[in-house]
Structure 1
Amino acid sequence: MRKALVGLIALAVFGVLGFLALTSPSAYRVIRAEAPAPSGNRSPDLENGRIMFYAGGCTSCHATPNQDDKLRLGGGYALKSPFGTFHVPNISPHKQDGIGGWSTADFIRAMHEGTSPDGRHYYPAFPYTSYQRMSADDLSDLFAFMQTLAPVEGRAPGHELPFPFNIRRGVGLWKLAFLDGQTFKPDPSKSASWNRGAYLVNGPGHCAECHSERNVAGAIVDDRRFAGGPDPEGRGVVPNITPHQTGIGGWAPEELATLLKTGETPLFDTVGGPMGDVVRNTAQLPDADRQAMAEYLLSLPPRPGFKGPE
């Protein structure tokens, strides 16, 4: 009996040690890869940073609610999900309340690894599963642009998550399962514009994060990517954006590029809600980038859209 008890205690200790080892941010770095570094002796390109900022739709979630200046990134938006409510943080260049005290390396690590400068895991409500595709140079430019914005005082409240989702350390296991640590790799068989569109859609644009179904762990189901899914905040269904008849099948590239600029659909309707916020950002992109995104999206495998509960 005593030997059995000692064995159980030893097993529990090894289990705890194993959990702590596997869920450490440094363990992810060893198993996957270190976050990339920008090119040496390179000055940040603020105009490219501005493009990455609007491609990423940073204002949609991080702008302080109930104020007109969308470049005041004080956070505070409450993002409801099946796992609880996440309160979007301040990412203005405020030294104490935002990211003004961060280094470029801190920012790149957060975007690639979902890890804070003080070594905590970020929850994947922050879509680093897409941002990891971005190049280090683009992230360096984005960070430099964000540092030119106004500092905003104040911090968002803590997340409201039930057990076991409130155990932040457990995110380390989620990352090992669903965060591959890979940056975007161009397809040499495709055109430069197609590759640019693929990069913008899958990286900074993080379009699949909303327009896909997710599994019970909250990760995107690969064979349902871009085919729509339930709105995570319970507001109905997010539409299919593959070229299926239930999605954007039959649209011309020019029509999709127009939607990304003006919000107008080929049926003379106008998008609203969260997609309206997206369009306010994509409208700031160069025409060539919107056209590239349209080219890529219309090349996706057609998939039937999510129907929702019967």
Structure 2
Amino acid sequence: MQRRMFLATLLLAVVAFGFYGWLTAAPLQLAVTAPAYTPNAANGEIIFNAGGCSSCHAVPNQPDRLKLGGGLAIPSPFGTFYAPNISPDPADGIGRWSEGDFVTAVMKGLSPEGTHYFPAFPYTSYAHARVQDVRDLFAYLKTLAPVPGRVRDHDVPFPFDIRRNIGIWKLLFMDGKPFSPDPSRSARWNRGAYLVNSFGHCAECHSPRNFLGGIVSAQRFAGGPNPEGEGWVPNITQKGLSDWSEKDIAYFLETGETPDGDSAGGSMARVIKNTSQLPADDRAAIAEFVKSLPPVEGPPRPPKKPASEG
């Protein structure tokens, strides 16, 4: 009897381990070499700015936003992540990556070695991008100066540091569906929807998250606690921006100035440095899409702490 129980337990353990391995396995790389395609680095620069790549990957505390040596600390409830070097440096950056390596990293969240990247890298949004745009982005990055210097390892405690578990997280929170235009909307609205939901990855910060770090889909764009720690990220649906016009939104993306004369701060100030470089038509497209978002009630903000006495 004990022997049978032991064998049954062993069999269940083997099946469970095999199921876990299947759930967490890395998918195959994307095929990006067919059909033949000549990348457009000029479009890649637009994609670079739409994605805000320099906001995270530029070397901190220096003025050159194209010095993509990484190192920015990104705090989160799961630990502190450090943005990697994505310059063309062959030793410390992505200089030895193939185009396929890059597309797979951006759209699947997989390293060239086949390991899962942590979702602090917003590939859940980039997965909705067009492959051609990702290839153009890679072509643009190769035109930039290589920056030597290896970034330190992430500071992520157990069990969040087990990368295979991210395979399960992806099954829960990453749909990977390509962007599908809405034929009932204008071309400009669709352009804005594409930029906001793919490279712009606006929902990654402007949405509340559940205890596993997944976006709460019912409150997408409705704001919430700053995933980097202190502060509150605003609601950008019409619940939060009902008083803003499309021109107000486009002007904010260009200058960082709000309709009431305030200015962007914190991580949004870094975002504005990128969106200000976009073509005016793209800022207008983003504004049209954001203005169309229906009002959604976000999570309640905690009450402000009373000022300490004396």
1:249 counterpart = 2:242: yes
CA shift for structure 1 position 156: 1.1
Contact 2:43 2:133 in 1 (8 A): yes
Aligned Cα root-mean-square deviation (Å): 1.3
CA shift for structure 1 position 37: 3.0
Alignment of 1:256-275 (within 5 A): 256-275=249-268
1:57 counterpart = 2:58: no
Residue 8 of structure 2: aligned partner: 7
Per the alignment, in what secondary structure is the counterpart of residue 238 of structure 2? Answer: coil
Question: Identity of paired residues, percent?
Answer: 54
Q: 1:289 aligns with which of 282, 285, 288?
A: 282
Task: Specify the code of the residue in structure 2 equivalent to 1:254.
Answer: K
CA shift for structure 1 position 39: 6.6
1:209 counterpart = 2:209: no
Q: 2:179 aligns with which of 181, 184, 189?
A: 184
1:89 counterpart = 2:90: no
Task: Specify the code of the residue in structure 1 equivalent to 2:141.
Answer: M
Aligned CA distance change for structure 1 residues 36 and 131 (closer, same or farther; 3 Å): farther
Structure 1 unaligned blocks of 5 or more:
none
Residue 110 of structure 1: aligned partner: 105
**2-side partners of 1:254 and 1:109: how far apart?**
36
Question: CA deviation digits over 1:187-242, x for unaligned, max 9?
Answer: 11110000000001001100000000011111111111001010112211100111
Deviating more after overlay: 8-17 vs 228-237: 8-17
Contact 1:239 1:305 in 2 (8 A): no
Residue 175 of structure 1: aligned partner: 170
Residue 215 of structure 2: aligned partner: 220
Task: Specify the code of the residue in structure 1 equivalent to 2:69.
Answer: G
**2-side partners of 1:120 and 1:39: how far apart?**
24
Residue 294 of structure 2: aligned partner: 301
Task: Specify the code of the residue in structure 1 equivalent to 2:301.
Answer: G
Question: CA deviation digits over 1:234-262, x for unaligned, max 9?
Answer: 21110011111xx1112111111000000
Contact 2:68 2:87 in 1 (8 A): yes
Number of equivalent positions: 302
**2-side partners of 1:6 and 1:309: how far apart?**
53
Residue 143 of structure 1: aligned partner: 138
**1-side partners of 2:33 and 2:177: how far apart?**
15
Task: Specify the code of the residue in structure 2 equivalent to 1:47.
Answer: A
Alignment of 1:14-29 (within 5 A): 14-26=15-27, 29=28
**1-side partners of 2:219 and 2:34: how far apart?**
35
**1-side partners of 2:194 and 2:290: how far apart?**
11
1:100 counterpart = 2:95: yes
1:154 counterpart = 2:149: yes
Per the alignment, in what secondary structure is the counterpart of residue 74 of structure 2? Answer: strand
Per the alignment, in what secondary structure is the counterpart of residue 75 of structure 2? Answer: strand
Aligned CA distance change for structure 1 residues 240 and 36 (closer, same or farther; 3 Å): farther
Question: CA deviation digits over 1:121-179, x for unaligned, max 9?
Answer: 00111000000111011001000000111111111111111111111111011111211
CA shift for structure 1 position 88: 1.1
Task: Specify the code of the residue in structure 1 equivalent to 2:273.
Answer: R
Contact 1:38 1:137 in 2 (8 A): no
CA shift for structure 1 position 307: 2.8
Residue 235 of structure 1: aligned partner: 230
Q: 1:197 aligns with which of 188, 192, 198?
A: 192
Per the alignment, in what secondary structure is the counterpart of residue 85 of structure 1? Answer: strand
CA shift for structure 1 position 289: 0.3
The normalised TM-score by structure 2 is 0.94
Task: Specify the code of the residue in structure 1 equivalent to 2:154.
Answer: H
Task: Specify the code of the residue in structure 1 equivalent to 2:158.
Answer: F
Contact 2:32 2:99 in 1 (8 A): no
